[in-house]
Amino acid sequence: MSAEQEERAIRCLVAKVGLDGHDRGAHVIARAFRDAGFEVVYSGLHRAPDDIVQAAVQEDVDVLGISILSGAHNTLVPKVIEGLKEYDAFDDTLILVGGIIPDDDEAELKELGVAEVFGPGTPMAETIEFIRNNVPERT
Amino acid sequence: MGGQDDDAAATPRAPELSDGDAELVEGLLDGSHRALARVITRIENRATGHRAIVAALHEHTGGADVIGITGSPGAGKSTLVDKLAAAYRERGDTVGVVAVDPSSPYTGGAVLGDRIRMGSNVGDMDVFFRSMSARGQLGGLSMATADAVKALDAFGKDVVIIETVGAGQNEVDVVRTADTVAVLVQPGSGDDVQTLKAGILEIGDVFVVNKADMDGAERTLAELEEMVHRREGPTVGLDAGHHGFDAPDHPDDPEGEVRDGDGERDDDESDSESPEWTPEVLRTVANTGEGVEDLIAAFDDHAAHLRESGEIETTKRRRYAEEIRTLVRSDVGALATEEIERRGGIDRLAEAVRRRDTDPYSVAAEVVAPIVDCVETGGE
């Protein structure tokens, strides 16, 4: 019986990891996502990779957007991905990284499982479009 | 409520679980965080099959103390919930939190910010924190919240906290699914206390003046005390007239002992004469954790009161009755919607009414007629 209409929303976690106090970008992204109709959970500043994993698993987000401007992405992102795997949450979470990431590192991150890296100046609409097209299909 | 299992043969069968969902339920009962998170998502989405999941979980529920926390925006709910969760963890309890935030009525989007305040419990997986948005469901929100609480309960959480902004019927309905309700007020919100009178005052089992280190805390405490005692009864209400705003019935106490004195008196009352619960008025400073122990003691007192007076059964029965009614209403409503479609859609019917070909009452009667037939003939 299909008495109720399914009400699905794309859930995103916007996460700041590590010792990086610059969250203006994360705020702007969070608002843009909200206005796109997504449900956005914002992690707050200075989170450890474990905290991000905990939030991503518990909130069961479709999209994990990690904002890193400190240059520590090569240390922090793998830890987050490891954690997600531990909870069996890696396969169907779309992982995005935003920030200033050198090209070489970008390739490496994508190899690890990051779906896309968005550098400074990326139009908001592009990121939102990417999410809409790539959000993991869940049954 | 295990007694009803005996006559299970007579009760309707639960909706059937699909294989994937059965696995999910099994995972949840086995303690998989991922499965629990998934189940809550299914519940939130009102996804096909979520009913069977909740139905399968129901028999595993009933073990958790469910606490609702509400109050105006900025009263400090999230910060207090964080400290409460940490205090519960300290004494060995596992905690589930469902934080409900409003969503935009225009885009459906939402920023769920309550998690930011959960600073004391990051990295502790035994605090399961879940943000939910209102998603504009009419009356469905309280249903979704109640179902999410069931999932956390079945998972084995000792305490489940529901946190929501105390504005509007939706939120009141949400928080009513809790066994114990705490209403948070911040000092200097004289007008807030006024607005609280309508609706929120009746649902509070415990009132908390948070940010009690701020100016005006004593006065807010006094106002709340007065209101709480006024609601006890007409005679008491008249009596409470002497609780002037400027003359609280207890001296200001910088040490925060107000609650203790009050608590003792409440105990006396409940022991001797009536099993009625008199709401407690407490003070906390969520930032520093001051008063959190007392608040938990008050929650425990209330839970004990519910158990000892047998009130818990009445409340639970009332709540389940409400749940059944909501479900039946939504199912019958869906049937009616299908019937409307079969009759050419709501627009066509509305146009017919506009042209004075028919009237709303006749249309409604026609739409419902097949359902009426079924009920009257007792058929399926």
CA distance B377 to chain A (A): 22
Low-confidence ranges of chain A (pLDDT < 50): 1-3
Probe site for chain B from A58, A132, A139 (most B CB atoms < 10 A): A58
Structural domain boundaries, residue A128: 11-134
CA distance B360 to chain A (A): 24
B61-308 falls under which CATH superfamily? P-loop containing nucleotide triphosphate hydrolases (3.40.50.300)
Residue B375: pLDDT over 50 = yes
Residue with tokens 């991150």: A109
Q: What is the residue-wise DSSP string for B17-85?
A: PPHHHHHHHHHHHTT-HHHHHHHHHHHHHT-TTHHHHHHHHHTT---SEEEEEEESTTSSHHHHHHHHH
What is the count of structural domains for chain A?
1
Locate the chain B residue with the closest alpha carbon to A86.
B34
Contacts of B311 (CB under 8 A, 6+ apart): B275, B277, B305
Probe site for chain A from B34, B107, B124, B337 (most A CB atoms < 10 A): B34
Residue with tokens 């890696």: A90
Strands across the sheet containing A94-99: A116-118, A94-99, A63-68, A11-16, A39-42, B110-112
Least CB–CB distance from B45: residue in A7, A35, A42: A7
Probe site for chain A from B78, B111, B161 (most A CB atoms < 10 A): B111
> Are B227 and B93 a contacting pair, CB within 8 Å?
no
Higher pLDDT, B5 or A137: A137
Whether residues B330 and A3 touch (CB distance < 8 A) is answered with yes
Comparing B148-157, B266-275, B339-348, the range with the smallest average pLDDT is B266-275
CA distance A104 to chain B (A): 31
Higher pLDDT, B189 or B117: B117
The helix or strand, by DSSP H or E, that contains position B95, with its residue range, turns out to be strand B95-101
Query: Which of helix, strand or coil describes residue B139?
Result: coil
Least CB–CB distance from B129: residue in A35, A50, A58: A58
For residue B205, give the DSSP letter: S
**Interface membership of A133 toward B (CB under 8 Å):** no
Whether residues B109 and A40 touch (CB distance < 8 A) is answered with yes
Comparing A80-84, B1-5, B27-31, B303-307, the range with the smallest average pLDDT is B1-5
Q: What ipTM was predicted for this assembly?
A: 0.87
What is chain B's mean pLDDT, rounded? 79
List the one residue out of A29, A107, A106, A91 whose CA is nearest residue A65.
A29
Mean pLDDT of B84-109: 86
Whether residues B131 and A41 touch (CB distance < 8 A) is answered with yes
Q: Residue A100 and residue A98: Cα distance in Å, rounded?
A: 7
Whether residues A4 and B129 touch (CB distance < 8 A) is answered with no
> How do residues B29-57 score in pLDDT, each as one tens digit?
999 999 999 999 999 888 888 889 999 99
Probe site for chain A from B19, B24, B41, B326 (most A CB atoms < 10 A): B41
Q: What is the pLDDT of residue B159?
A: 96
**Interface membership of A75 toward B (CB under 8 Å):** no
Residue B14: pLDDT over 70 = no
Q: What is the CATH number of the domain that holds A125?
A: 3.40.50.280
Higher pLDDT, B111 or B244: B111
Burial B52-80 (b: 16+ CB within 10 A, else e): bbbbbbbebbeebbbbbbbbbeebbbbbb
> How do residues A100-130 score in pLDDT, each as one tens digit?
899 999 999 999 999 999 988 899 999 999 9
Residues B251, B280, B316: CA angle, nearest 5 degrees: 175
Q: What is the pLDDT of residue B160?
A: 96
pLDDT band at B10 (very low <50, low <70, confident <90, very high): very low
Whether residues B115 and A42 touch (CB distance < 8 A) is answered with yes
Interface of B with A (CB under 8 A): 15, 20, 32-34, 37-38, 40-41, 44-48, 103-104, 107-113, 115-116, 119, 122-125, 128-131, 133, 135, 137, 140, 330-331, 334-335
In chain B, where the domains are located: 61-308, 326-377
Least CB–CB distance from A4: residue in B129, B130, B330: B330
Instruction: Record the tokens describing residue B302, joined without a space.
Output: 């209330």
Q: Residue A92 and residue A136: Cα distance in Å, rounded?
A: 6
CA distance B158 to chain A (A): 17
**Interface membership of A90 toward B (CB under 8 Å):** no
Q: Residue B246 and residue B223: Cα distance in Å, rounded?
A: 9
**Interface membership of A40 toward B (CB under 8 Å):** yes
Residue A38 lies in a domain: yes
Distances (CA, A) of A12 to A35, A39, A64, A130, B55: 13, 6, 6, 13, 28
Whether residues B112 and A40 touch (CB distance < 8 A) is answered with yes
Least CB–CB distance from B46: residue in A6, A47, A88: A6
Residue A6 lies in a domain: no
Instruction: Record the tokens describing residue B57, joined without a space.
Output: 């979980």
Instruction: Record the tokens describing residue B36, joined without a space.
Output: 């629990």
Probe site for chain B from A10, A39, A53, A138 (most B CB atoms < 10 A): A39
pLDDT band at B185 (very low <50, low <70, confident <90, very high): confident
The helix or strand, by DSSP H or E, that contains position B208, with its residue range, turns out to be strand B206-209
